[in-house]
Amino acid sequence: MKKQFLYTGLALFLSLSAAAQKDPVAVKFSESINKNRAYSHLSILASDEYEGRETGKKGAWMAAEYIKKQFKSFGLVGPVKDGTDPYFQKVGLVTNDVSGATLSINGKARQLYKDFVIPSNSVSNTGLDLNASEVIFAGYGMTKEGGYNDFDGINAEGKVIMIFSTGDPTVKPGDSVPTGRAAMMAARQRMTNLMKSKPKAILLIDMNFDKLPESSKIASTLGRIMLKKDAPATAAPQRATPIITLTISPATANEILKASNTTVEALSKKIMESGKPSSLTATTSLVASAKKSETPQRGENVLGFLEGSDPKLKNEILVITGHYDHIGLNPDPNAKDKVYNGADDDGSGTTGVLLMAEAFSKAKKAGKGPKRSILFMTVVGEEKGLLGSEWYSEHPVFPLANTIADLNTDMIGRIGEEYLGKADSANYIYSVGSSMLSTELGQIQEKINNTYTKMKLDFKYDDPKDPERIYYRSDHYNFAKNNIPIIFFYDGMLGKDYHGLGDEVSKINFDLLAKRAHLTYYIGWELANRPNRPVVDKNQNGTPKTTN
């Protein structure tokens, strides 16, 4: 629910409440913001060729090049001066990847990717060093209250535990077996319960290890993409030391069990047929080690700059943003659909930025350009944690003190679940944060919408109790936390297609996308041409600032 605040400036109240008329110049140059232009951009950005635009991968680089090409064709200037390409702000992305991984069993070295993998989340910044003289085999690592217990009589604390990575001996023939997300959550819960017993390390036996493509094994050793900070990786803050976890092949597991005169195949059959645990302690020599090394990853924010026409105002900057990255390729080798296309998230917002950039550029070429300058910026790494916008906020091309507002479009192409079938389903948008820092910006938005687009503005996600915490989940937040007023436009699509394979161009409502881009454009036109920048009269928590 949107909170309403009183503003003490009488002049502002009168100016905003007066009947407003459409600016014919703004209307004229809005004509290129239309469904056909939207389709021409989005059908490329969200195509299979762009491979889901994952940060640090080929598809994202292709998208960045496409956006740069469009900015240049509009006549926008590349404002970046400390790189090789003035349209690209290189973002300091790195991964801390596993390197030098070794494993030996009974003095015999095992082969990386053929016999074992050490995932990146198992290695601390200071490395991994494991040495054990025995391994406890604990079946499927399951504990069910009042029933099956692989750890009955076992003290796992400080020990190396070996279990099957999947399977459930308590499932009877005909019982339903969890699949997809349910299976993933069940496996995660099992690991959580296991780690409560404080083992020294966990060896996960993957019975399909030999069938897995090497690319997926390599991928597990790569750390998540993050921003490179000034401190070296070894000094980077880290949560509690991770539990050492190795994924091993059945052959490696059998080498560990060699002195016990059994095999994982025999143990699995015994447990499944009896429905009872068959845990044992294997005497063996196991030595493992690994390090982490920082690997730079390519990623860039794409910037197009339109200089303002007023000598007194052109040093003030309006920023219009959308993130062009998505989540990449489907890891399932058997899937028919290989690409998470991300048409709505956030191909639609990126398309909106391109449409607005073209419209404002045409106005400038006709001698009707905005008084203030506008920075059109599509950012990378949003799906990895708002990384591109965070980098810009810490390394701004234009001073943040000169930045008057950020208008952010992230998912503006679909009808969200709450509006399906409703009368206003094709005439709404969630407006997030418009009055969080500036009462005036919220009032400007209301005035512009009432004058030009007459959409239903839904302020649901302004509620401080919003369980989804939408206000904190897109790139506008890195401006808001620096006390720059923002508006985040969002369609509310959180169903099965959110980060799903169904987020396709065919499901985009291009008329609605264009209308939402029109609203953003007209607000941008007002902000870039009005005499004063929006007043920041709120604290970060949305409460009014006190004046002496």
| Four-way CATH pick for 26-92+299-362+370-529: 3.30.565.10, 3.50.50.60, 3.40.630.10, 1.10.3720.10 | 3.40.630.10
Which pLDDT value is given to residue 183?
Answer: 64
C-alpha 237/C-alpha 137 separation (Å) is 34
Of 157, 116, 129, the closest CA to residue 287 belongs to 129
Q: Do 387 and 55 touch, CB atoms closer than 8 A?
A: yes
DSSP string, 127-144: BEEEEEEEEEE-TT--B-
The domain limits of the chain are 26-92+299-362+370-529, 95-296
Rounded distance between C-alpha atoms, residue 117 and residue 392, angstroms = 36
Class of domain 95-296: alpha beta
Give the model's pLDDT for residue 3: 33
What is the β-pairing status of strands 428-432 and 486-490? antiparallel
**pLDDT the model gives residue 125:** 86
Q: Rounded to whole angstroms, how far apart are CA atoms 467 and 397?
A: 34
Q: List Cα–Cα distances, 105 to 135, 206, 207, 209, 266, in angstroms.
A: 11, 17, 18, 18, 20
Q: What gap in Å lies between CA 411 and CA 491, rounded to an integer?
A: 6
Torsion angle defined by CA atoms of residues 512, 505, 475 and 433, in that order, rounded to the nearest 10 degrees: 20
pTM of the predicted protein model: 0.84
pLDDT tens, residue order, the chain (548 aa): 223 333 334 444 444 444 479 999 999 999 999 999 999 999 999 999 999 999 999 999 999 999 999 999 999 999 999 889 999 999 999 999 999 999 999 999 999 999 999 999 899 988 999 999 999 999 999 888 778 889 888 889 999 999 999 888 888 766 666 655 566 666 777 777 788 888 999 999 999 999 998 988 998 999 999 999 754 444 344 445 678 999 999 999 999 999 999 999 999 999 999 989 999 999 999 999 999 999 999 999 999 999 999 999 999 999 999 999 999 999 887 789 999 999 999 999 999 999 999 999 999 999 999 999 999 999 999 999 999 999 999 999 999 999 999 999 999 999 999 999 999 999 999 999 999 999 999 999 999 999 999 999 999 999 989 999 999 999 999 999 999 999 999 999 999 999 999 999 999 999 999 999 999 999 999 999 999 999 999 999 889 998 65
Q: How far apart are CA 538 and CA 548, in angstroms?
A: 15
Angstrom distance (rounded) from CA 524 to CA 529: 9
Contacts of 518 (CB under 8 A, 6+ apart): 30, 33, 452, 453
26-92+299-362+370-529 against 95-296: fold identical: no
